[in-house]
Structure 1
Amino acid sequence: MAQKAKHLLTELSRRGPHPVLRGDLALVGLPGLVYTPSSGLGLPAVAFGHGFLQPPSRYAGLLTHLASWGVVVAAPGTHRGPLASHRLFAADLRTALDVCVGVRLGEGAISVDPGKLGLAGHSFGGGAAVLAAAEDERVKAVATLAPAQSRPPATEAAAHCSMPGLVLAASMDLVAPPTAHAELIAKAWAGPVTLRTLPKASHLGFAEGRHWSGLLLSGKAEHKTQRLAKALLTAFFLVHLAGKDEYLPLIEEPVKGAKLEELAEIG
């Protein structure tokens, strides 16, 4: 691993300098959670989509981490059942961005710059994030964790995504195997995209704690997987939403445990 990227990985794996506030999106009519720095004007914001059957609370560590580095994160808690709709959840992610932009958070001490909006998601939520990005010209960056194919197909939507993308694939994923999901989405991406494979990660490695869905879905919470996701997503959004190019090496250079893939060599 290049020394600069190694240093940045260590730095961004740690909690950032901002105290974090946690709120409830239900107060503005959308079930879910919102995490913000304690203060700040013109901040970047990301809407985060949960995985299949997962509550947003299983990503509290990741969302808190992003907020501690100055990013407002809203995580809708809708469409958590077995018949959840990708298309409707994508609409909820876009609504979450509307909330971030249109509502003064933190008793008026926090505002979001409408030119600094991103999307992210895990599994089902990753596919929905791609669908939402393809229909929303406000979105400047998209990051997905073990993204799952969607209905309508995320691969087709990716062909309309010209903003930068980050796709993290879990090589041990038995729910959404990378060759049929993450890799195809990355190859279809219209804009610049980075695909990384986490060799020892499982599908649920990105989710925190325990949940009854673990009886149905393969994998379990993995500290190392979550640590890498925190650092890589933080670097990605700080570069592409906050304009902090000093974190570019963590996006572009080799990182131990998160192999950079050459898309031309896949498939």
Structure 2
Amino acid sequence: MARKAKHLLDELSRPGPHEVLRGDLALVGMPGVVHTPKSGLGLPAVAFGHGWLQPPARYRGLFRHLASWGIVVAAPGTQTGPLASHRLLASDLRTALDVCAGVRLGAGEISVDPDRLGLAGHGTGAGSAVLAAADDDRVHAVATLAAAQTRPFATEAARHCAMPSLHIVAGRDLVAPPASNADLIARTWGGPAQVRTIAKASHLGFAEGRHWSNLLVHGKSEHATQRVSRALLTAFFLVRLTGKTEYEPLLTEDVKGTEITHPEPAHT
């Protein structure tokens, strides 16, 4: 019998069994970071796009968390200015996947399976992840956090995405309101798509620590938001990229403080 979602939430919100190593993307001339398990062959990998004005360091805890569960994470540190190009960030996300899939990481003890690649992001970085997925048939799963609209439109690019997706939105988001961007992306998505709302989360609830951009962007770092979203993203990528279906109840059942809003719940 499948374990209840609350037990899986408790398990996956804690660090996984792997020791974590940190590196950077300098070997390809790109600012950014890479977090990996200490060792492992044929691992899944995810490229992560940062939010508007947010450095990758604001998601360090998330990266370490995913790596502790056996998932390589690469996060470009490009396009962090106020006039950032969403299209160029999408291109950099694809390059980050190239690095993960084509370069033996660590001391040669880490490799990535090119058939286990995913994308994720926060805010406009989430929108850029959608743009990247639409142009990259290597991508097998996409997860977004408080997805914001991009140019070109992520809502249009979503039509060309056939892989499974998870869109986590913040119920108190004034930057990317719950009923707008993520919902539209999910409804135009070319493959399976789920929207889950964290009721008490704000737009910056997914980002860690303090940053000067808090003066311009609504919200603040929220431990509870990060705890739930880390567990959901971990479950999503373990299920979709590694086939560990024992974690699927966390994606399909109710979780306290959240609501699955797409597909619309059946009414009885």
Q: TM-score, normalised by structure 2?
A: 0.97
Which amino acid in the other structure matches residue 17 of structure 1? P
Cα 1:25/1:233, change in 2 over 3 Å:
same
Residue equivalent to 1:216 = 216
Residue equivalent to 1:40 = 40
Residue equivalent to 1:85 = 85
Task: Tell me the CA shift for residue 182 of structure 1.
Answer: 1.1
SS in 1 for 2:173: coil
SS in 1 for 2:115: strand
Which amino acid in the other structure matches residue 107 of structure 1? A
SS in 1 for 2:4: helix
1:174 aligns with 2:182: no
C-alpha distance in 1 between matches for 2:3 and 2:19: 29
C-alpha distance in 1 between matches for 2:46 and 2:264: 29
Task: Tell me the CA shift for residue 3 of structure 1.
Answer: 6.1
Indicate the RMSD between aligned Cα atoms, in angstroms: 1.1
Provide runs of 4+ in structure 1 moved above 2 Å.
262-265
SS in 2 for 1:156: helix
C-alpha distance in 2 between matches for 1:44 and 1:38: 14
Describe how 1:104-253 pairs up with structure 2 within 5 A.
104-253=104-253
SS in 1 for 2:201: coil
Residue equivalent to 1:17 = 17
Give me the identity figure in percent: 71
What count of residue pairs does the alignment treat as equivalent?
Answer: 264
Which amino acid in the other structure matches residue 250 of structure 1? L
Unaligned runs of 5+ in 2: none
Give per-residue Cα distances to partners, 1:105-146, cap 9 Å, x unaligned.
Answer: 011000000000000000010000000000000000000000
SS in 2 for 1:184: helix
Give per-residue Cα distances to partners, 1:150-178, cap 9 Å, x unaligned.
Answer: 10110101111110000001111111112
Task: Tell me the CA shift for residue 18 of structure 1.
Answer: 0.1
C-alpha distance in 2 between matches for 1:237 and 1:153: 25
C-alpha distance in 1 between matches for 2:162 and 2:258: 24
C-alpha distance in 1 between matches for 2:163 and 2:26: 30
Task: Tell me the CA shift for residue 262 of structure 1.
Answer: 3.5
Which amino acid in the other structure matches residue 233 of structure 1? L
C-alpha distance in 1 between matches for 2:262 and 2:25: 39
Which amino acid in the other structure matches residue 49 of structure 1? G
C-alpha distance in 1 between matches for 2:7 and 2:263: 26
SS in 1 for 2:52: coil
Give per-residue Cα distances to partners, 1:210-247, cap 9 Å, x unaligned.
Answer: 00000001000000000011100000000000110100
Task: Tell me the CA shift for residue 264 of structure 1.
Answer: 4.8
Residue equivalent to 1:64 = 64
Query: Is contact 2:193–2:263 with CA below 8 Å preserved after alignment?
Result: no
Query: Is contact 2:3–2:249 with CA below 8 Å preserved after alignment?
Result: no
Task: Tell me the CA shift for residue 263 of structure 1.
Answer: 3.7
Task: Tell me the CA shift for residue 29 of structure 1.
Answer: 1.6
Which amino acid in the other structure matches residue 194 of structure 1? Q
C-alpha distance in 1 between matches for 2:242 and 2:225: 24
Task: Tell me the CA shift for residue 28 of structure 1.
Answer: 2.8
Residue equivalent to 2:31 = 31
Unaligned runs of 5+ in 1: none
Task: Tell me the CA shift for residue 26 of structure 1.
Answer: 1.4
C-alpha distance in 1 between matches for 2:14 and 2:3: 17
Task: Tell me the CA shift for residue 199 of structure 1.
Answer: 0.6
Q: TM-score, normalised by structure 1?
A: 0.97
Residue equivalent to 2:260 = 260
C-alpha distance in 2 between matches for 1:112 and 1:150: 29
Which amino acid in the other structure matches residue 159 of structure 1? R
C-alpha distance in 2 between matches for 1:72 and 1:56: 15
C-alpha distance in 1 between matches for 2:262 and 2:179: 13
C-alpha distance in 1 between matches for 2:12 and 2:124: 26
Query: Is contact 2:186–2:262 with CA below 8 Å preserved after alignment?
Result: no
